Chain A
Amino acid sequence: MADRKIPAPGVNPETEPFWTAAREGRFLVKGCASCGKNHWYPRAICPFCFSDRTEWRPASGRGVIYSLSVMKRAPEPYVMAYVTLEEGPTMMTNIVDCDFDALKIGQKVKLVFKPTEGDGPPFPMFTPA
């Protein structure tokens, strides 16, 4: 099956370090030096304590599926999902490179970067661990 085309994300100054790291194969999350918590999606201002002392932190890329939906009504079926990272936050993503109908909530998954269209940076997705 041909890979679905993934639109390139619209990188901006606030998020550029994430996508630069992604090009190098490194997966980052944003954490807060003030309250200590990690969050998703990455922001300059902590969504929990509103501190501006946020920092990029390397993440393991390990997580479990919180919920998922197999998009059947598409030229190339794909899987929308939320994955809860080992580092805490739950992020919206796709599950790729597997038997979609066998996926289960609670299943362990690992990060895989998938290429995006044009010159776009690779996008963080997951596949069964």
Chain B
Amino acid sequence: MTIKGKAYIMGAYEHPTRLAKDKSVAQLHAECALGALADAGLSKEDVDGYFCAGDAPGLGPLAMADYMNLKLRHLDSTDMGGCSYIAHVAHAAQAIAMGKCRVALITLAGRPRSEGHSGAVPRMRGADAPDTQWEFPLGVATINAYAMCAARHMYQYGTTSEQLAWVKVAASHHAQHNPHAMLRDVVTVEDVVKSPLIATPLHRLDCCVVSDGGGALVVVAPEIAKSLKRPRVKVLGAGESMKGQMGGEVDLTYSAGVRSGPAAFAEAGVKPADIKYASIYDSFTITVVIQIEDLGFCEKGQGGRFVADGNLISGVGKLPFNTDGGGLCNNHPANRGGITKVIEAVRQLRGEAHPAVQVKNCDLALAHGTGGLLGSRHGAATLIMERE
């Protein structure tokens, strides 16, 4: 059994807002759904499967499905943090392959910027979670959990702040062409390493933005894809996993991508070297370095060297990444960057990225994400897509 070729991403929409003080979260979800369905050339009445995660208000998918008045025969609210929506594409393909639905809608939306969220403030992730009593009192916030991974990676592999900075530099080179990006100024390595330290060794410019907004995807059965006018983006393979503290055998230098990546490549029947464009979740610069290693784009420990000197810049380096500017510069709606990773990969495969960052002959792309906290427990999801 495989999902290879069993489903197509035919609708993709990124909400243009980055500050939505005048909108509700449910409204943002629905606006994204409307945008993705219009992009695909489908209507709400065609949707028979709905996927959302913890950013959706209410109990699982119920409130949003009712708000949009969907008539469903398949529902899935898998939540593994910010990478959930990458996994949702795979789950939608599975459901379609099994005949459980034919038109799957995936939505994400949130307004953390309007609500004043910050990745520097400890966030309670469930008072009854078994880890909470051992960790929440310590002040574990998003950034210092990732910062401990960076510190260990530097200690173990000699990775430098300057190498991490190259990830942000590349993102900023791409974001200058995106009129919706929150941060459009091109920055230098020096700009990054001289920006204020937030949680050592990470600086302000090592961190993604906090933005309102959202996105949606429409995944459909092959016969429906062939009836639509949009370029067809075929799902080739996917993998998902998670990694925690392993009972105290903590290792902060790798992610669950060591499992989700190889599974996706095996199902797709391709190798990392075949990938023309990669969307890599960039909550922080270190996230990209660790994931690139785990996906097999370079050897473990070599990620810092790999990303340096513009190697992630489209038209310049070997692995063009996050050509929308990514979470570091463009958008990180609901503090969850998974869906925008798929959306930009779809743009690249359709040839609809900005001409300044469009990868030539982009026929094979990857979207990969991490959800939760890389430094404590996190999910990982990898998706490989092909232009047909």
Contacts and interface: CB of A to CB of B under 8 A. Distances in A.
Residue of A66, A69, A84, A91 with highest tally of chain B CB at under 10 A: A69
A41 B138 contact: no
Given A40-B247, A67-B152, A91-B134, 14 more contacts: A7-B136, A9-B136, A41-B135, A41-B245, A66-B252, A71-B120, A71-B198, A72-B197, A73-B120, A73-B196, A80-B138, A80-B144, A92-B138, A105-B155
Q: Which of B127, B138, B147, B200 counts the most A-chain CB atoms under 10 A from its CB?
A: B138
A10 B132 contact: yes
A116 interface: yes
Interface of A: 4, 6-12, 15, 37-41, 43, 46-48, 66-74, 78, 80-82, 84, 88-94, 105-106, 116, 123
8 contacts: A37-B247, A66-B252, A69-B200, A70-B197, A72-B198, A80-B144, A90-B245, A94-B139
A103 to B, nearest CB: 9
Contact of B137 (A8, A40, A82, A91): A8
Nearest to A48: B247
Contact of B139 (A4, A10, A106, A116): A4
Contacts, number: 119
B227 interface: no
Contacts of B133: 9-12, 15
A129 to B, nearest CB: 19
B199 A69 contact: yes
Contacts of A116: 137
Contacts of A12: 133
Contacts of B140: 80, 92
B352 interface: no
A105 B145 CA distance: 15
Contact of A82 (B136, B143, B252): B252
Contacts of B120: 71, 73-74
Contacts of A123: 137-138
Given A39-B248, A67-B151, A82-B252, A7 B197 contact: no
B139 A105 contact: no
A61 B151 CA distance: 23
Contacts of B130: 41, 43
Nearest to A6: B137
B148 interface: yes
Give the size category of B's interface with A: 35 or more
Nearest to B148: A67
A37 B196 CA distance: 42
Interface of B: 120, 127-128, 130-141, 143-145, 147-152, 155, 196-202, 245-250, 252, 376
A16 to B, nearest CB: 11
Contacts of A73: 120, 143, 196, 198-199
Contact of B245 (A40, A48, A80, A106): A40
Contacts of B143: 71, 73
B139 A71 contact: yes
- In this complex, the member of B198, B245, B247 whose beta carbon has the largest number of chain A beta carbons within 10 angstroms is B247
Closest 6 pairs between A and B when the two form their complex, measured CB to CB: A89-B248, A47-B247, A69-B147, A40-B248, A9-B133, A90-B250
Contacts of B250: 66, 82, 84, 90
Contact of B152 (A66, A72, A78, A80): A66
A101 to B, nearest CB: 8
Contact of B199 (A7, A47, A72, A84): A72
Contact of A9 (B134, B151, B248, B376): B134
B151 A41 contact: no
Given A39-B248, A72-B198, A94 B144 contact: no
Nearest to B139: A78
A126 to B, nearest CB: 11
Contacts of A105: 151-152, 155
A70 B199 contact: yes
Chain B CB within 10 Å — which of A10, A43, A78 has the most? A10
Nearest to A9: B133
A72 B200 contact: yes
A7 B138 CA distance: 8
The residue in A9, A73, A89, A106 that gathers the most chain B C-beta atoms within 10 A of its C-beta is: A73
A34 B1 CA distance: 39
A51 B144 CA distance: 33
A85 B135 CA distance: 17
